[in-house]
Structures are given as C-alpha cells and as structure tokens.
C-alpha cells in the first residue's frame, strides 16, 4: 500500500510536469514574432531577456564570450534605428536561452548604452562577410 502511494505521487508529479511544459509551449505558440532572423522567430520575451542581460553587463562594465559581448555596434550598414546614440550589440540565441558565453550564433539585439532601449535585431545570416542584415 505504501509503495502504491509513492507510485501514485510520482505519476501525478510526472503528469503535472507534462502539463506545465504543454502550457509553456502553448503560451509561446500564441505569441507573435517580433523579429525573424534567418528562419528563427523571436518573441518579445526573448528580445527583452537578451537586451536585459546585455544592458546589465554593459552597465557593470563586464563582457562575456570571445567576442566580448556586449560591445559597441558601429552600424556600418546604416540601419534605420528608432533612436540615436551609442549602440551595443548582444547575442540573442536561437535556443531561446540567454547568452552567458560560448558561441554567440548569428543573431544579435541592438540596444542603446545610455538607457538599454531596444533598437532592433540584426543577423549575419544572409549577409556577406562579417556584415549584418536587419531581421524582419
């Protein structure tokens, strides 16, 4: 009898975990793309998390990864960002995890160093050399 109670508890916990996972997937699917870089669709929550992480590092004077992110983005391509100021770039990962080092992938968020405002998303995907194209 004691063993069956433990099994019942484990079974219910497993069902609850599956339900929570299904809810998270459902919530993600109900959101709309804010930026599409290559074939990756980023939601506002993905962008907000990347900008927050990059801006926090920038404010602390810290960098991560071999590319030393965040770093100043010079906008050699001449994109039409909403604001002017010193831009910083920071990786946004197609795994939807927040970048903390390692391979940065092709996609970046751009934010203002003065206040952390999100300015846009850019990607190396579809660009020549080390250039960027703007995400749609």
User: Which residues are annotated as catalytic?
Assistant: 71, 89, 124
Query: What one-character-per-residue DSSP string does 68-120 give?
Result: TBSEEE--TT----SS-S-EEEEE--TTSPPP-SS---SEEEEEETTT--EEE
d(CA 106, CA 59): 24
């Amino acid at each position: 009898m004691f063993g069956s109670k433990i099994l019942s508890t484990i079974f219910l916990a497993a069902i609850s975990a599956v339900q929570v996972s299904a809810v998270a997937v459902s919530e993600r699917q109900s959101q709309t793309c804010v930026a599409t870089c290559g074939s990756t669709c980023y939601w506002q929550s993905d962008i907000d998390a990347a900008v927050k992480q990059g801006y926090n590092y920038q404010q602390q004077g810290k960098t991560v990864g071999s590319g030393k992110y965040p770093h100043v983005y010079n906008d050699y391509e001449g994109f039409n960002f909403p604001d002017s100021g010193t831009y910083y770039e920071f990786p946004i990962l197609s795994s939807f995890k927040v970048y903390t080092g390692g391979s940065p992938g092709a996609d970046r968020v751009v934010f203002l160093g003065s206040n952390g405002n999100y300015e846009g998303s850019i990607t190396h995907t579809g660009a020549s050399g080390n250039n960027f194209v703007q995400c749609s």
